[in-house]
Amino acid sequence: MQNQFVIDDTVVKLSLPANATDAITIRSVPYNYTVNFISKADLIKELQALAAHNKEKHFIYIDDVVDKLYTEDMLSGAPTTLINAREKNKNLATAMKLVDVLQAKNFTKKEVIVSMGGGITQDITAFARAVFKRGINWVYVPTTLLSMADSCIGAKSCLNYKGGKNQLGLFSSPARVLICDELLRSLPKRDILSGYGEIVKLVIVGGETTIKLFEKYVSTQHGDVLHNIIPIIQLSLAVKNSVITIDEFEANIRKALNYGHTVGHAIEPLLNYKIPHGIAISIGMLVENEIAVVYGSLAKNESAVLKDLILPYIDAESISYLKKLDVNDVLNNMKKDKKNLSDEIFLAIPYAIGKFGMLNVKADNRLKELLANAFDNLIAGTK
């Protein structure tokens, strides 16, 4: 285990909102911003106020699925620019199309763009608004569980490039985030599981206290995975907020939030993004845990506890795609990971529950074998 960083419950100081409607303040560079939890009726009012502010320049970058579901009801004819939220479109070409809209409308720093959709819509919008005139104001309305509970804070924006997942990136904070959990009722089951993947990752980063709280909320769900969703989102954001308050630009402890991502990002493009992002991360966490156990960085019993937490959020369909993977390709993609500084692979992994560090492993036949075994174990586990 390399000690480039250490994160444990002495570092992550959790501060949870007392009420479901309390705003969260995110300390960020160059400005702080707030996350508000609001009803659909209040979201409509907020969007109307933004329309009045922007006047003839008002428009909304919106996920095309969300547009079909909600525009008529909520946006009362506001002009929209549609985003086809697919990983194959999360690229420079799409971002530049959004830039073209800003330029055609002669957008200035006075106006505020609205972006409404999941993490793909957020990543593309955040990139476009950041590069146009070195930054146009934007309000983000996340519409997926993953974007409400994770990506909406932290300011990252990433685009895919030449077959590599999230290879281009920059930091780009919104002016405000408006979370309306009522929008989750239309979200497909696999996208809900995907959101839980990133939530479980953050809950594990938070350590014993957050794991216990998460388990308490989940234990009352009785099959309705959206029951208690606001406290679950707040718990997840509270952990992320504690980490990014200390290290927004990932010099150190924020690397823990890449847990599961080295393997997750490697498999996503190889399977043509048929596995939603958060489920790929759940698979990544389990595979990386197995590697960490073999390298002596994580105890077997702790890995088993983590497996029980993570496994419920991986569906059989996603597991079935793992049969198509060639470990040589997985390893090649892992070598492209942003954390790597040399030919070695860097994995952000827990060395105990709630304690994180960096494990560097050689990209050799031993690692290939471990990857193959870990995928086989997952496939066998669902038979």
Which residue from 85, 139, 141, 358 is in contact with ligand NAD, where contact means CB under 6 A? 85
In contact, 333 and 266? CB cutoff 8 Å: yes
| Rounded least distance, CB 265 to ligand NAD, Å | 8
282-312 per-residue burial string, b: 16 or more CB within 10 A, e: under 16: bbbbbbbbbbbbbbebbeeebbeebeebbee
If one asks whether residue 260 binds ligand NAD (CB under 6 A), the answer comes out as: no
Indicate the DSSP class of residue 133: G
| Rounded least distance, CB 343 to ligand NAD, Å | 25
End-to-end CA distance of the chain: 34
**Cis before residue 269, ω within 30 degrees of 0?**
no
- Considering only residues 180 through 239, tell me which ones interact with ligand NAD, judged by CB under 6 A: 183, 186-187, 191, 194
Total residues at interface with ligand NAD (CB under 6 A): 33
| Rounded least distance, CB 338 to ligand NAD, Å | 12
| Rounded least distance, CB 82 to ligand NAD, Å | 10
Among 206-214, 276-284, 308-316, 325-333, which window interacts with ligand NAD (CB under 6 A)? 276-284
If one asks whether residue 250 binds ligand NAD (CB under 6 A), the answer comes out as: no
If one asks whether residue 144 binds ligand NAD (CB under 6 A), the answer comes out as: yes
Among 7-15, 121-129, 210-218, 326-334, which window interacts with ligand NAD (CB under 6 A)? 121-129
| Comparison of 68 and 324: residue with beta carbon closer to ligand NAD | 68
Which residue from 71, 166, 282, 318 is in contact with ligand NAD, where contact means CB under 6 A? 166
Which residue from 50, 51, 66, 353 is in contact with ligand NAD, where contact means CB under 6 A? 66
| Comparison of 181 and 290: residue with beta carbon closer to ligand NAD | 181
In contact, 205 and 6? CB cutoff 8 Å: no
If one asks whether residue 90 binds ligand NAD (CB under 6 A), the answer comes out as: yes
Q: For residues 205 and 240, give the distance between their C-alpha atoms in angstroms, rounded to a whole number.
A: 9
12-51 per-residue burial string, b: 16 or more CB within 10 A, e: under 16: beeeebeeeeeebebebeeeebebbbbeeeebbebbeebb
Q: Would you give the distance in Å from CA 31 to the centre of its chain?
A: 21
The structure tokens listed for 306 are: 């983590």
